[in-house]
A and B are shown apart, each in its own frame.
Chain A
Amino acid sequence: MTSILGISAFYHDSAAAVIVDGQIIGAAQEERFTRIKGDPSFPHHAVGWCLEQAGLDIEEIDHIVFYERPLVHFERLMMTYLLTAPQGLRSFLHTLPEWLTRKLWLEREISAELNVKRKIHFVDHHRSHAASAFYPSPFDQAAILTIDGVGEWSTATWGIGSQSTIDLREELRFPNSLGLLYSAFTYYCGFKINSGEYKLMGLAPYGRPVYADRILKRVIHLMDDGTMLLNQKYFGYATGLTTTSAAFHELFDGPPRQPESQMTQREMDLAASIQTVINESLLRMGRFIHKSTGLDQLVLAGGVALNCVATGKLSSDGPFKQIWTQPAAGDAGGALGAALSFWHRELRQPRSVASPDGMQGAFLGPDIPPESSQDDAILRTLGAVWDVLDETALQRRIAADISSGKVVAVARGRMEFGPRSLGSRSILGDARSETMQSRMNLKVKFRESFRPFAPMVLAEDAAAYFDSRQESPYMLLVYPVAERLRKAVEQTDKFGIDLLKLTRSEIPAVTHVDYSARLQTVDVQRNPFMHGVIGNFKSQTGCSVIVNTSFNVRGEPIVNTAEDAYRCFMATEIDNLVVGNRYLERTRQPHPPMDEAARAKWLQRFELD
């Protein structure tokens, strides 16, 4: 038996993953345990949980692998400072102390953190991404594309995966980066880098791409193969502490939007413009890679692969027949990729292709089992009151409550690995409701009212509701709502965010203003419980689509334990809660509803993104 522990840490979204004889035993992000969103600290809790899941002590782990090479990263930093001196003093003073006293000695640091005297192995950042995309994918052979902000030097790589080998052919190098370009606009529009990118993506349909031309002519040089050069005149990330420069602010008519200030049409137009550019770049990259490899399957990973609008376009308009994206495409997934890469590449172990794929539905995290005396004890401590239902009754009950307009949260089974809730830690609602969207945003999630919700649809019925080209089990592809379900929108003087209030389809709660939807197809192999819930909903209502959003409030990491779930339930206006096989009704809980002041205090615990 060979066990490998993969770790990603120290930048953002720390995580750990453990594989035994090539099988993924568990993977989890540190934020879920520490309740700090994107927690970059050493993932002690995640490691502890992974070891427990594998039934091993840390001394019994055969290999420990980190998802990046600190030396190559340091080389990039030093060369950047060298080539940009004397403009980078502030960044130099900000970055070097931590590198000189900690990150450069990472091998010792990790050994000390884990309390093992052991060689620590390092895998390239983009190789980790590539491994996380290819090895668990359902393909024998596939083209690979990884894109993110930056790893060591690479900001994007492509290659070919075949059986157990990954041959990465070419890279796009720092400072030219799609991820950093998108992050610059994220920051400029007043959102937090590394977590606000998906807000910018959600904002794009409200705007018009009026700045796209300016971006293409002045800010970047986009080439036919999708790669780009970034005009450093407009950026500050190479030499300073901000991503954009004064020239950037001048070009786009003003300073960056202050976080949490009023959203204007300018931000919406900027979001639409940069989304157009990213879509085009990814599409060109896809065509280039398809032509170079001759392969019809593509696997994706890296933070930019979470831009499901762009990957949806690549799926709809691009040359590939099938696209598979690693559900934990960001840096957390690097922990899993590093471990898998080590197993297949360094230990030269063969790979067997799993069906429907090797990610087990992304349900790789801590479990909330149907019955557990430990969870009973925790819930009793918190004063909860519940009924116990068997699985079939539970599915029927959830479906009935959703169809009567209630919002139901589910915390059941193993937690998802990656940023999307896929039914194990989810809040569900009726997609047919015209008021569900704003109710969920304002009363349940306490977040910006412009943000759309995603649909969960029975895989076998997906084509009836959406113009989808393929399955999307991990909610990572955006497709248009089918023409026949759309409703004509009357001419109105509404603009911007108010547009979301207009009913656009038979499933308005999940239809964005451009008729798009971020789809999750639910199949019986990967997600039997939710398949049963939606199946029941379909027999009760005739509709195979429900709303699925992550079980958390704004700024909070997705709930992990039964305790997190009950706390979040009590702090919000969620009607009913499922924890394992327990059904908790809001009206039967002995606690008084949380008042505004108590809720404000609760929300303060979570930093805004």
Chain B
Amino acid sequence: MPNGFNALNSTETNQVFTRSRYLRRLDERRETDEIRQLTNFGLTIGWLFSLLGGFCWFCVISQIDWFWRMMMTAGLLLLFLGTALPQSLYWPRRLWMGLAHLQGRVVMTVLLTVVYFGLMSPLGWWERRRRGGSHPFHSWDTQPPTLTTGWEALPQSVPDAITSDVQQKGSRSLVSLFAETLIFFAERGHYLLLPVLLFLLMLGMILFFVQTSALAPFIYTIG
């Protein structure tokens, strides 16, 4: 076989030659993050399982003692692995978080469907009635609307945070982004949407935190 044949047919590229300092730092950061997440997973679920399993096994008279014992053992094992060998928890964590993701999607779908039919639809009906035919979602059978231009004036100064705080350092908190969103919608006159938004944004913020937490499957179940 000629020299380099395997290298040419490999699907891996030799990006090691060109990896920038930024990407090398990103790789390191991702690796550290992953180990931290695996350790967190091992410790959080490990404590939960060992305490709950241990309590039920030692203190509660139960028909399924074997189950509590297994739970406690699994918990202790997770504690050990999370501390000593976090990399070994890669697949258990993926499985666990996959479950959380699935649960999250179900919960989200149910809640969004309720919001859509319970709030958006009646508000939409009201809004269309209020606007008459003046909203931009035109639909016609034979006679198009009588408009002669689609151009609309652009506001000369868009409400904008850039102009005033060019020098600002430090990223903003979720709470301030939350408030900014509500204020923005209020300033644009979308008062009808404010209650919907309040609910959706809270849901979003909770999910934003929950999606990376090892406790997600429990939180979703409680929710």
Contact = CB atoms under 8 A, between A and B. Distances in A.
B136 A175 contact: yes
Interface string A573-600: 0000000000000000011100000100
Contact of B152 (A173, A231, A378): A173
A107 B117 contact: no
Contacts of A230: 138
B26 A48 contact: yes
A97 interface: yes
Given A111-B171, A170-B152, A84 B124 contact: yes
A100 B166 CA distance: 27
B21 A86 contact: no
Given A75-B188, A377-B17, A567-B8, A223 B177 contact: no
Interface in B7-42: 7-9, 11, 13-14, 17-23, 25-26, 29
B113 A89 contact: yes
Contact of A71 (B9, B125, B180): B180
Nearest to A85: B124
Contacts of B22: 44, 47-48, 51-52, 57-58
A151 to B, nearest CB: 12
A383 B13 contact: no
Contacts of B161: 121-122
Interface string B131-156: 10001111111001101111111100
Contacts of B174: 105, 108
A86 B171 contact: no
Interface residues of A, number: 95
Contacts of B3: 383, 590
Nearest to B193: A78
A381 B169 contact: no
B154 A107 contact: no
A42 to B, nearest CB: 10
Given A171-B152, A231-B139, A107 B29 contact: no
Interface string A198-232: 00000000000000000000000101110111111
Interface stretch (B57-65, B68-76, B90-98, B198-206): B198-206
A96 B112 contact: yes
Given A117-B171, A346-B166, A83 B8 contact: no
A38 B117 CA distance: 35
B170 A118 contact: yes
B154 A82 contact: no
B44 interface: no
B197 A93 contact: no
A78 B197 contact: yes
Q: How large is the interface on B (under 10, 10 to 19, 20 to 34, 35 or more residues)?
A: 35 or more
Contacts of B193: 78, 82
Given A71-B180, A227-B150, A381-B14, A119 B208 contact: no
Contacts of A415: none
A75 B162 contact: no
A175 B124 CA distance: 17
Contacts of A171: 151-152, 154
B221 interface: no
A71 B136 contact: no
A119 B170 contact: yes
Contact of B154 (A169, A232, A377): A169
Given A35-B13, A82-B127, A157-B154, A232 B138 contact: yes
A20 interface: no
A1 interface: no
A212 to B, nearest CB: 16
A547 to B, nearest CB: 27
B112 A382 contact: no
A475 B138 CA distance: 37
A124 interface: yes
B190 A172 contact: no
Contact of B2 (A107, A159, A221, A591): A591
A119 B124 contact: no
Interface of A: 35, 44-45, 47-49, 51-52, 57-58, 63, 71-72, 74-75, 78-86, 89, 92-93, 96-97, 99-102, 104-105, 107-108, 111, 115-124, 154, 157-159, 168-176, 221, 223-225, 227-233, 238, 342, 346-347, 374, 377-378, 380-384, 561, 563-564, 566-567, 570, 590-592, 598, 605
10 contacts: A44-B22, A78-B193, A170-B151, A172-B150, A229-B147, A231-B140, A346-B163, A374-B17, A381-B4, A563-B17
Given A52-B20, A71-B180, A592-B2, 7 more contacts: A75-B188, A96-B108, A104-B181, A105-B208, A117-B170, A171-B151, A590-B3
